[in-house]
Amino acid sequence: MAKVLKLEVVTPERVSLQVEINSLVVPATEGSLGVLYNHAPLITGLEPGVLQYRQGEQTFFLAISNGFMEVADNLITVLVDTAEKPEEIDVERALAAKERAEKRLKEQKPGLDVHRAELALHRALARLKVADYKNVS
Amino acid sequence: MPSVRDIKRRMKSVESIQQITKAMKMVAASKLRRTQTAVIRSRPYTEKLQEILHKIVASAGEITHPLLVERPVKAVGIILITADKGLAGGYNARVQKLALEEATRFAEQEIEVDFIAVGNKGHDFLKRREQKIKTDIVGLNDVPTFSEAQRLSKLIVDSFLAGEYDRVYLVYQEFVTTVQQRPVVKQLLPLLYEKGEAEEKEYIYEPAPQEVLSILLPQYINNTMFHILTETKASEHGARMTAMTSATDNAEEMIEKLNLSYNRSRQAAITREISEIVGGADALEA
């Protein structure tokens, strides 16, 4: 593992992850984005979704909500509101949140904050997806 | 002089009060420790966020964003953060006083003032003083969560962007040390920022710096709010702990005094009885 990058996932409530990785894929605002060794300095926004990173042959997943990422000198800093490992996810709650958001978007009641509902839906979907990976591996 | 029984009764009641204050002190101390850990844990995020903000400001040159716009001040919002409960010494009273002073200062300049009361005590206080309260938020967690901060800042950002307020201030107790808090006024909106040094590294921004900024700023406000709520809670627990420590000490002192007068009146009663007996015996002999 010569060519390793440092990954730090930081949320307002704690530093939730600090590991050495080989590669990373994040849901950036402009679409999926991969980071490998010696990536150019970068600052980007992140959308709610699934963050994946590889350590050797193993792939790990995190459900993240919106935030940012900074890449510089092979140090990746991910700043997000929440970041959850598969075992930390409350599947029932995520399911309920998904249904609630879907219902809101379908009904389209006047005064609905569409953007917010969509974000909630994306967060819920990301959580469910990550929770699924736990069952597979 | 009160009777022996009365003193005994008072001692009992002071002792049970002391037990309660002692328990409250211990509870406050453990909550303080938890909030302090939360403050320390939130530091890396805050530092990193500020660092990125500086980088963007430095590399983007002039930046504009609705949350940075200075408008002529016609209406201000004051967020007063207090505790939900009392029994914390002068903790609530001091911020309340400061908030009211600020409000009066604005009123003299014919600026409209609206309050957002966080915490029961502040809400009741403002109501008694017949101040305008837009909303009140009570029942915050002892260790605030980020989503609580998010909810509060969304409310404030929305009213700021809608033009309801031209400036938003926070009035709260800053955490100095465990036993010392300082009431402060801080401007939340429009955001104040420092111009950083230009970076040597050329960053790729995705999307453009301006757009990254518009994602970052709301985040920044959320985080500031979270940080301040946590800090205020730490101050609250600290103040309560100090108040309860001195209450426990006072009770101790009182028990000592009562004990002394208890012994004294007990001794007096014995002396009286002896002199009565001696007097009776003398009378019989005579």
Read off the pLDDT of each residue in B250-270 and give the average, rounded to a whole number: 93
* Whether residues B138 and B205 fall in one domain: yes
* Whether residues B23 and B140 fall in one domain: no
Looking at the structure of chain A, the number of domains it has is 2
Structure confidence by residue, pLDDT tens digits, B112-171: 888 998 989 989 999 898 888 888 888 888 888 888 888 888 888 888 988 889 999 999
* Whether residues A103 and A71 fall in one domain: no
* Whether residues B84 and B221 fall in one domain: yes
Read off the pLDDT of each residue in A14-41 and give the average, rounded to a whole number: 89
* Whether residues A109 and A67 fall in one domain: no
Give residue B169's pLDDT. 92
* Whether residues B201 and B246 fall in one domain: no
Would you call A42 and B206 a contact, using CB atoms and an 8 Å cutoff? yes
Q: Which residues of B touch A12 (CB under 8 A)?
A: 42, 45-46, 146, 149, 222-223, 226
Q: Which residues of B touch A119 (CB under 8 A)?
A: none
- Structural domain including B270 reads 4-27+242-285
Read off the pLDDT of each residue in B243-267 and give the average, rounded to a whole number: 94
* Residue scoring higher pLDDT (A101 or B250): B250
Cα–Cα distance for residue pair B155/B160, rounded to 1 Å:
9
Read off the pLDDT of each residue in A80-89 and give the average, rounded to a whole number: 85
For residue B252, pLDDT over 50 is answered with yes
* Whether residues B118 and B197 fall in one domain: yes
Tokens of B96: 């309340």
- Whether residue A71 lies inside any domain: the answer is yes
* Whether residues B77 and B198 fall in one domain: yes
Closest CA to B157 of B68, B61, B80: B68
Read off the pLDDT of each residue in A35-64 and give the average, rounded to a whole number: 89
Would you call A12 and B204 a contact, using CB atoms and an 8 Å cutoff? no
What does residue B218 show for φ and ψ, rounded to 5 degrees?
A: -60, -40
Cα–Cα distance for residue pair B38/B36, rounded to 1 Å:
5
Q: Which residue of B has its CA nearest to A65?
A: B219
Which CATH number is A14's domain given? 2.60.15.10
Confidence grade of residue A135 (pLDDT, cut at 50, 70, 90): low
Report the predicted TM-score, pTM, of the whole model to 2 decimal places. Answer: 0.82
* Whether residues A109 and A58 fall in one domain: no
Q: How far is CA B178 from the centre of its chain?
A: 12
Residues in contact with A116: Cβ distance below 8 Å, sequence separation at least 6, in sequence order: none
Alpha helices in chain A (DSSP H): 91-107, 114-136
Residues in contact with B268: Cβ distance below 8 Å, sequence separation at least 6, in sequence order: B1
Which CATH number is B132's domain given? 3.40.1380.10
Task: Look at A32-46, B50-64, B83-97 and tell me which has the smallest mean pLDDT.
Answer: B50-64
Would you call B215 and A82 a contact, using CB atoms and an 8 Å cutoff? no
Query: Taking all residues of chain A, what is their mean pLDDT, rounded to a whole number?
Result: 85
- What would the 3-class secondary structure string for chain B be? CCCHHHHHHHHHHHHHHHHHHHHHHHHHHHHHHHHHHHHHHHHHHHHHHHHHHHHHHHHHCCCCCHHHCCCCCCEEEEEEECCCCCCECEHHHHHHHHHHHHHHHHHHCCCEEEEEEECHHHHHHHHHCCCCEEEEECCCCCCCCHHHHHHHHHHHHHHHHCCCCCEEEEEEEEEEECCEEEEEEEEEECCCCCCCCCCCCCCEEECCHHHHHHHHHHHHHHHHHHHHHHHHHHHHHHHHHHHHHHHHHHHHHHHHHHHHHHHHHHHHHHHHHHHHHHHHHHHHHC
Which CATH number is A100's domain given? 1.20.5.440
Give residue A137's pLDDT. 47
- Whether residue A136 lies inside any domain: the answer is no
Which CATH number is B21's domain given? 1.10.287.80
Structure confidence by residue, pLDDT tens digits, B169-184: 999 998 888 888 899 9
- Structural domain including A92 reads 88-131
Q: Which residues of B touch A43 (CB under 8 A)?
A: 52, 55-56, 203-206, 212
* Whether residues A57 and A23 fall in one domain: yes
Mutate to test the interface with A, among B206, B211, B212 (most CBs of A within 10 A): B206
- Whether residue A64 lies inside any domain: the answer is yes
B186 by Cβ neighbours in 10 Å (0-12 / 13-18 / 19+) ranks as: middle
Q: Which residue of A has its CA nearest to B55?
A: A43
C-alpha radius of gyration, chain A, whole number:
16
* Whether residues B265 and B130 fall in one domain: no
* Whether residues B113 and B124 fall in one domain: yes
Cα–Cα distance for residue pair A59/A54, rounded to 1 Å:
4
For residue B32, pLDDT over 90 is answered with yes
Q: A23 touching B, CB under 8 A? A: no
* Whether residues A94 and A51 fall in one domain: no
Q: A119 touching B, CB under 8 A? A: no
Give residue A66's pLDDT. 84
Task: Look at A26-30, A116-120, B254-258 and tell me which has the smallest mean pLDDT.
Answer: A116-120
